[in-house]
Amino acid sequence: MATVPWSDRVLELVLRLNNLQRAGCLPFYIQGQRVGWVTPAVAQVLAQSSAVFTLCKESGSRLELSDGLRCPLERTRAVQEVMESLRGRDVFPCLREWRDELYEVKGLFSDPPLLSMERAATPLLGVPRYGVHVNGFLRRGTDVFMWIARRSLTKPNYPGKLDHLAAGGISAGDGVWETLLKECTEEACIPESIASKARPAGTVSYAYQQDGAVYLECQFVYDLEVPESFQPRVGDGEVQEFYLWPLEKVTDAIATQEFKPNCALVVLDFLMRRGHIRPDTEKFYTKFVENLHGPL
């Protein structure tokens, strides 16, 4: 049986994490501002909680949060009650991943939050979720090596898969830099004297639909060049082991099922920015770029 080429396997991954058809979804509004996307089936269920959600059809179908909920705290409490009820009835698969962790819902990332909601419930409203990913690397002459983590087998999502040196979602009340320093310390025991040298390298964003839920993800990407003497250590137990790999091995790995999918996208972005993957030799180069920076 012929082996599927690396480029085709990576393109399949990239497109799988960018499969959202917005034309088939309803916009979700808070106080006249679109903040998410909802599938029609989810909208019908949420609209049953009429004191919180309204399904409007006057100017094109859309789901709205009740204008009677006038402040972020009121909205947070009301939406939380609805989601807890749906979780108790096991209505949507994504709610089985309940974490008791709140994410903020807002228009732009820089905007004040309109409400905070359980992380596992955010795909039901199709609101953007933000995280931080750290590409840890070092140089040996002209060669570049990358630190790769293997996730703990006890992780609820993608146990045992390959991951970044440090990464994590941005919880309500936290900022990008605060999250970066926290994840570096907790996951890889990186001292702040080293972690603070991380430099912003843009974002990787993608949107997909799964089990009736809409996932809009935006990862703030940082590159962290570490000294040869640095050795990450397992911290909070979310990682079981770290590897230092040459870029050639990392490149091969992101095209396998060994890598956590969204981390593979962030690593792909790193490899392209560093010139390890070039437009004159990679046939899907423009497709990769287009799908690594999709709209939210």
- Please check the confidence at residue 37 and state whether its pLDDT lies above 70: yes
Asked if residue 174 is part of any domain, the answer here is yes
| 103 lies in the same domain as 143 | no
280 with 151, same domain?
yes
- What is the predicted pLDDT for the residue at 172? 97
1 within some domain = no
Q: Give the predicted TM-score (pTM) of the model.
A: 0.95
Tokens of 38: 């909802």
Average pLDDT over residues 197-210: 97
CATH number of the domain bearing residue 255: 3.90.79.10
Whether pLDDT at 180 is above 90: yes
Three-class secondary structure of residue 7 per DSSP: helix
- Is residue 163 located within the same domain as residue 285? yes
Note the pLDDT tens digit of each residue in 42-78.
Answer: 999 999 999 999 998 775 699 999 999 999 999 999 9
Assess if residue 102 is contained within a domain. Answer: yes
What is the pLDDT of the chain when averaged over all its residues? Answer: 95
**Phi-psi region at 236: left, alpha or beta (left = phi > 0; alpha = psi -120 to 50):** alpha
Do 115 and 215 reside in the same domain of the chain? no
- Using 50, 70 and 90 to split pLDDT, how confident is the model at 2? low
86-110 mean pLDDT = 96
Could you tell me the CATH number of the domain that includes residue 117?
3.30.750.160
Burial 173-207 (b: 16+ CB within 10 A, else e): ebeeeebbbbbbbbbbebeeebbeebeebebbbbb
Is residue 203 over pLDDT 60?
A: yes
Q: What's the domain count of the chain?
A: 2
143 and 120 together in one domain: no
Query: What are φ and ψ of residue 101, in 5° steps?
Result: -130, 130
Tell me phi and psi for residue 103, to 5 degrees.
-115, 150
For residues 163 and 281, membership in a common domain is answered with yes
> Of 92, 127, 162, which residue is a domain's last?
127
Q: How would residue 23 be classed by pLDDT, with cut points 50, 70 and 90?
A: confident
The runs of H, that is alpha helices, within the chain are 6-16, 40-46, 72-88, 122-125, 176-188, 192-195, 247-253, 261-273, 285-292
> Would the pLDDT of 265 be above 80?
yes
CA 12 remoteness from chain centre: 18
Q: What is the pLDDT of residues 182-195, one digit of tens each?
A: 999 999 999 999 99
Say yes or no to pLDDT of 201 above 90: yes
Parent domain of 92? 22-127
Are 30 and 135 members of one domain? Answer: no
- 219 & 232 share domain: yes
The reported pLDDT for the residue numbered 1 is 53
Q: Is residue 251 one of the residues assigned to a domain?
A: yes
Please check whether residues 143 and 275 belong to one and the same domain. yes
For 221-258, write each residue's pLDDT tens digit. 999 999 999 999 998 888 999 999 999 999 999 999 99
Count other C-beta atoms under 10 Å from residue 283's C-beta: 11
- Is residue 258 included in any domain, yes or no? yes
Q: Do 142 and 260 share a domain, yes or no?
A: yes
- The residue from 101, 127, 153 where one domain ends is 127
Q: Which of 84, 104, 127 is the last residue of a domain?
A: 127
Mark whether 181 and 167 lie in a shared domain. Answer: yes
Q: Are residues 228 and 107 both part of a single domain? A: no
